[in-house]
Amino acid sequence: MDTGSKLSRRDFIKLATLGFGSLSLAAGCAPQHPAGRAVLSDDDAGLLGAIADRIIPADAWPGGRENGVVSFIDRQLAGPYRRFRREYRRGLDAMTGTCLEKYRKRFEALSTEEQNSFLREMESGRLRDGDWKGGFSNRFFEMLRSHAMQAYYGSPRHGGNPNYASYKMMGIDYPPIIGQNRYRF
């Protein structure tokens, strides 16, 4: 048996350390998303925050943006909602393009009434040109509303509803974690 082709334990450790160090360096050089987000850019987060505040406006309690809707959506798009990334990209781009064409401003810069009007058009499916063909405006609005509600009323451990704000608003206690409870009989 040729001992020249065997790797000594010391050489293996050296190569493993070098490989691990290279991977760590590569991970540190990877593009970072702003503000600790996993998927959303600053523009995406700003647009989603404005939408969240129209779907769930602030009153005596926090609105959608303040109660973690953007954080929730970003966190979910990096994990369980990964399958919705394409729809979010298409919908957010379509909203920006349509607002620039129709109002000469981004959605975030529109007045509250203009934003509400635009979202009502989306919800009703009246936006049908360009990227909105095939009823996409209604489907995208329904997805946004559903995800905003999940973020606002869901558990903080999923990225939204910080400080249990919606639970406090409704006067309910934080629900216990359900799962691997060990029952004793």
Per-residue pLDDT tens over the stretch 35-73: 678 899 999 999 999 999 999 999 999 999 998 999 999
Per-residue pLDDT band for 15 (boundaries 50, 70, 90) equals low
Closest CA to 91 of 133, 131, 50: 131
Q: How far is CA 145 from CA 104, 138, 139, 152, in A?
A: 25, 10, 10, 10
* 158 pLDDT higher than 50: yes
Highest-confidence segment of 24-28, 84-88, 127-131: 84-88
Q: What is the pLDDT of residues 135-154, one digit of tens each?
A: 999 999 999 999 999 999 88
| Domain parsing of the chain, residue ranges | 43-56+64-162
**Going by C-beta distance under 8 Å and a sequence separation of 6 or more, which residues neighbour residue 167?**
161, 173, 174
Q: What is the pLDDT of residues 82-122, one digit of tens each?
A: 999 999 999 999 999 999 999 999 999 999 999 999 999 99
Q: How far is CA 33 from CA 15, 38, 40, 83, 177, in A?
A: 31, 6, 7, 19, 31
* 17 pLDDT higher than 70: no
Closest CA to 70 of 34, 103, 95: 34
